[in-house]
Amino acid sequence: MSLAVFIRELWLFGVKQAYACMFGGFLLLVMIVTRYWYPLESLHRYDFIFLAAVAFQLFLLLFRFETLREALVIVVFHLVATVMELFKTADAIGSWVYPEAFVFGVGNVPLFTGFMYSAVGSYIARVWRIFDFRFTDYPGHYWAVTLVALIYLNFFTHHFLPDLRWLLLAITVLLFWRTRIYFRVEREHRYMPLLLGWLLVALFIWLAENIATYVNIWIYPNQSAGWNPVPLAKLSSWYLLMLLSFVLVSLVNRVRGIGARGGQPVAGAGKNGLVAPALPD
């Protein structure tokens, strides 16, 4: 690949990534702006963020920036996330708190919080379509779904039982070590290890989390006396959340393989539930 092609594809990659992050970027922008300028005394800030998120979702659907399938992913994420939020913010657990007042909410959880997780699901669903994802050596759905079910369960049980996150991360590496994700920026599919792709996205989520806590969207116990950066150790939680999100989206978007037949992508599964063989290096 020539330098000119590399620069062009790098630029297009960034533009398409920004397009895929449209909902998450909008939500983060609203959080930042309302922290420093919010003139509405009759409407709580958290409630405004919730209504803004709903309105933006309707805008994306109305103008076909988002498909109905992607909207379904957002609904599923909202429900899954709200259950976890209710547990994590319960007085007996207190993993984090939402310090401002709100009307639209359940228990200690303002309703806009589900959209923060939905933004991750929306991004994955959109980037999957925009970059025409293909895979090689992807584990069978049974193994992937079983793994993410255990990950989701561990988010609850580690408060009472030993934390299995490092074991689950080790299993993740074992299952997906050989898996490559192929993405098409312009004409040809490029690839990277799927484990690396998840890490890069998890890192950006961790950075967004630092911004969100800085603008008082939620705070952790160690931030109650004043803001300080979210520990890098939280990256492990976001990595597991990325895996959970990815597999949930894979239940809606078909996992397709890629082959070398004429240099064109082909769908299909190989033996033992593995996706079609890799392109030659």
257 close to 266: Cβ distance less than 8 angstroms: yes
pLDDT greater at residue 159 or residue 269: 159
10 exposed, middle or buried (CB, 10 Å; 0-12, 13-18, 19+)? exposed
Is the pLDDT at 271 greater than 60? The verdict is no
124 close to 112: Cβ distance less than 8 angstroms: no
Of 153, 133, 112, nearest to 253 by C-alpha is: 133
Is the pLDDT at 71 greater than 90? The verdict is no
> Cα–Cα distance between 178 and 193 in angstroms, integer?
7
273 close to 179: Cβ distance less than 8 angstroms: no
**Beta-strand relationship, 109-110 and 134-136:** unpaired
* DSSP 8-state symbol, 84: H
Is the pLDDT at 96 greater than 90? The verdict is yes
Domain residue limits, the chain: 3-273
H or E segment to which residue 218 belongs = none
Can you give the pLDDT at residue 260?
Answer: 40
What are the Cα distances from residue 63, in Å, to 15, 26, 57, 71, 196? 19, 16, 10, 13, 33
> Cα–Cα distance between 247 and 258 in angstroms, integer?
19
Three-class SS of residue 189?
strand
Can you give the pLDDT at residue 259?
Answer: 59
**Tokens at residue 119, please?**
């933004």
Share of the chain above pLDDT 70, in %: 92
Mean pLDDT, residues 239-249: 92
